[in-house]
Structure 1
Amino acid sequence: MPALHLSRFSSLRAFGHRDFVHVWSGALVSNVGTWMETLALGVFVTTVTGRAEATGGIAALTYLPAVVLSPVGGALADRFDRRTYVAVGTLVHALLAGILTVLAFTGRLTVPAVAIISFFNGCTSTLTNPAFSALISEIVPSKDLHSAVSLNSAQFNLGRIIGPALAAGVLATHGIAWALLINTLSFLAVLVALSRVRSSGRASALSRERLWPGIVRGARVAREDAGLFLVMMGTLAVSALVAPFIGLVPVFAIRVFHQGAAATSLLVAAQGVGAVLAAVMLGPLVAWFGRQRLLEACLLLIGPMAALYWMAPTLHLAALAIVGLGSLYMATLTGLNTSCQLRVPRELQARIHSLYSMMLGVGYAVGVWLQGALADRVGVRFVTTSAAVLLLALVLSLRLLRPRAFDATEAPSALVPASSRSPSVHLEGSGDL
């Protein structure tokens, strides 16, 4: 789409950049396959074990490596060509998906095997995601970064809509092995897309720091900068208290509503619809309210919306509620992630994103396992609703005790010299992102 037409739709401006369109399209195809695998394995584990703790535990294993490997992934991504780095990670993902496929076709797929592959998938994602995020920052100018982050979340959630719907059909007609095979083949789309991305020409700007000093520098900036520290803590709280709704969807559909893959697919797809709607609306909303005020509003609203979802009396009302929850979740994480990326120079973006990913992974891994384990003992609705209310209490406490705390996410970082920031970054809250 020509940039002239896109200028009227601030949420879509990143589509005016050729390389971003290639990466976005390839990632969409891959994420359709990934969500097919996610739903198929979630239904498989829940059906075989009948325990929410097992389903939550498998989901946690995917994010557990972030506890240790996220800073390493960020430092490595700042040292190597990001396009090549992402391609290697994609090949490893394809290999792991292929192992699951072979196990399923030969009748040897087991819950322990799913757990092991999920853990290694988590390791690969943790090491690769910072490079992918930094690659997006390279191929899109800073003024269009919020659009790129939103659209990247949109494609992930389009995959969430299309993938589960396809998975439900494939599971009903051909079985789990074919759903896993489609995911394995989907990684080819990412490799083709990366081959069409032009070199960013920034190889000379990559970090030449040794690995450990590079990790320490990124951690120091994140700890000492008030805005980044607040973003990291907000990400940790949201991922631990609200994000487990993603991994516990099969439990909610099967244990609470006594339905199977079709109901799971409906809820997962409904969340994706909400996230895509949010991606389309984020540009105008940022222009109207400003990034900081919109982020604050999302953090205040996401807890109550999660509680409404978990307390829904019927499947169809739950599907309606998760549309709203998906919208708020996507908008919240986009705001937090964009704040991270805009506050630091390009040479630190992958490292700061890796720390953001670590907070997201640690919170989600602990939250989804703990909520699943407690749900087996005191009930799904009670545990998850209590967690949502706790998040609201934390945000309200921060808002009342430190009313200007969120202002720190908007002002330029005092720890990064002005000369090293991206010149086109706009941080004044006018919404021209």
Structure 2
Amino acid sequence: MLRALRVRDFGLLWAARAVAGLGTSMLVVAIPAHVFAVTGSVLATGVTLAFEYLPSLLLGPFAGVLADRWDRRRLMVATDLVHVVAISMALLARTPETIWLVYVAVLGQGSAAVVFRPAAQAHIPAVVGTGPTLTSANALSAVTTGVVALGGPPLGGLLFAFHGIGAVVAASAAAGLLSAATIAMTSARPRDPGAAARDVLAGIGLGLRHVRHAAATRGLLATNSLYLLANAALTALLVPFGVTRLGGSVEVGYLLSALGLGFLVGAPLSRRLADRHSARTTVAAGQALVAAAFALLFNSTAPPVALVAAVLLGLPAVTVLVSVQTWVQRTTPEGLLGRVSSAFLTLEAAATMVGAFAGPAVSEVFGMPAALNAACVVALLSAPLTLWLVPRRPTREADGEIPAGGAAPARAP
């Protein structure tokens, strides 16, 4: 897994993404806490969360076009700088009348993140190639993202509690500047000026046309979205479950740590599986095992059993993530990779938002056990759906086809 760090440019890109991710995740708790502290309004705090989702839903397809049209290295540097400027606006929101500045800040920061992610994912194969080093890079990135997502929010919360929103914003802005400087140190890579369509809507159409004709990519897009919807519903109920069934917030912390441990242990395994088996096999098996681990976790009353289930959950979860991302990077033409990546990221955001609201809503109506087990069934259904929708033997003609006006030939896996 660490072999990818031997590639200098990937090492710099990985460090930049880790730092930027930490800076962004520190805002997850601190920004809503600041809004609530200033306004005392639950509604105003909820609006903050809505603004966090909007950029992914509205700008995702356009972000993919930008990632394919412009120099991805410069684009990532620019988005880091936009993050710094946008999030700094939150410092001006000190009264209920000026709290709208937080919404503008969140919208700007979220927009920068939406543009950054497909550019980064599309840039990785250009740096490390499409061989075994690519799966190592994706596995390492998955682990880093998981660790940062677990550690960043509580760190931001603590910083806010002791030093206020100014300290959190300063730390996040510093992370953005450091990320931009690190990415600027990577080597410039030539791009084909004709790789992307000149018209934005036409560019989006090219990406959608590729997905429509690439049977395996289209199947993975559909089944992964269903899987993520169920996963979001289950994750949204994790804290209430831990508090009511396992003892309290301390136990929830243990569960999150166990999940992170599963990610760490599963990352090297996911690299080997992604290289040795088809995406159809690894994704379907991973989805089924995730559903089984969730079922074990949420039907247990003993904390030790729940902790074991959380570790087991992390193992296939990282395999699904790495397998899907590696497939997209290896089979998508370089000039369309940003757009196809953004399609996955946009539907991921939509599925996560729907699942995060659906899980608690079903729990309120039918009770938590029914909601948890229903979400586990939905997650399990994504596995046979993957086996049905993804061809057993994808062909280059089906999954590497380039629409008219596209870019270079598809790269063999």
The residue aligned with 2:262 is 274
The correspondence for 1:367, drawn from 355, 360, 368, is 355
Contact 1:304 1:389 in 2 (8 A): no
Is 1:238 aligned to residue 227 of structure 2?
yes
The residue aligned with 2:338 is 350
State the Cα deviation string for residues 265-320 of structure 1 (Å, max 9, x = none): 54444433322322222223335545442222102212222233334435665454
Following superposition, the deviation at residue 16 of structure 1 comes to 2.0
Contact 1:32 1:160 in 2 (8 A): yes
Is 1:91 aligned to residue 81 of structure 2?
yes
Is 1:32 aligned to residue 26 of structure 2?
no
CA 1:220–1:311: 2 relative to 1, 3 Å = same
Following superposition, the deviation at residue 360 of structure 1 comes to 0.8
Is 1:414 aligned to residue 402 of structure 2?
no
The correspondence for 1:125, drawn from 105, 113, 121, is 113
Q: Distance in 2 between matches of 1:254 and 1:54?
A: 25
State the Cα deviation string for residues 393-414 of structure 1 (Å, max 9, x = none): 3433664xx4x84525x54243
Contact 1:13 1:147 in 2 (8 A): yes
CA 1:355–1:417: 2 relative to 1, 3 Å = closer
Aligned length: 407
Contact 1:228 1:340 in 2 (8 A): yes
Following superposition, the deviation at residue 41 of structure 1 comes to 4.9
Q: Distance in 2 between matches of 1:337 and 1:275?
A: 16
Following superposition, the deviation at residue 161 of structure 1 comes to 4.0
Following superposition, the deviation at residue 212 of structure 1 comes to 1.5
Is 1:136 aligned to residue 120 of structure 2?
no
Between 1:173-182 and 1:31-40, the stretch displaced more is 173-182
Q: CA RMSD in A?
A: 3.6
Following superposition, the deviation at residue 174 of structure 1 comes to 4.1
Which blocks of at least 5 consecutive residues in structure 2 are unaligned? none
CA 1:389–1:416: 2 relative to 1, 3 Å = closer
Q: Distance in 1 between matches of 2:264 and 2:146?
A: 6
Following superposition, the deviation at residue 325 of structure 1 comes to 2.5
The residue aligned with 2:317 is 329
Q: Distance in 2 between matches of 1:206 and 1:289?
A: 31
Between 1:209-218 and 1:390-399, the stretch displaced more is 390-399
Is 1:211 aligned to residue 200 of structure 2?
yes
Q: Distance in 1 between matches of 2:31 and 2:238?
A: 12
The residue aligned with 1:338 is 326
Matches within 5 A, 1:133-172: 133-143=121-131, 144-164=133-153, 166-167=155-156, 169-170=158-159
Following superposition, the deviation at residue 368 of structure 1 comes to 1.1
Which blocks of at least 5 consecutive residues in structure 1 are unaligned? 1-10, 427-433
Between 1:53-62 and 1:150-159, the stretch displaced more is 53-62
Provide TM-score, normalisation by structure 2: 0.83
Provide TM-score, normalisation by structure 1: 0.80
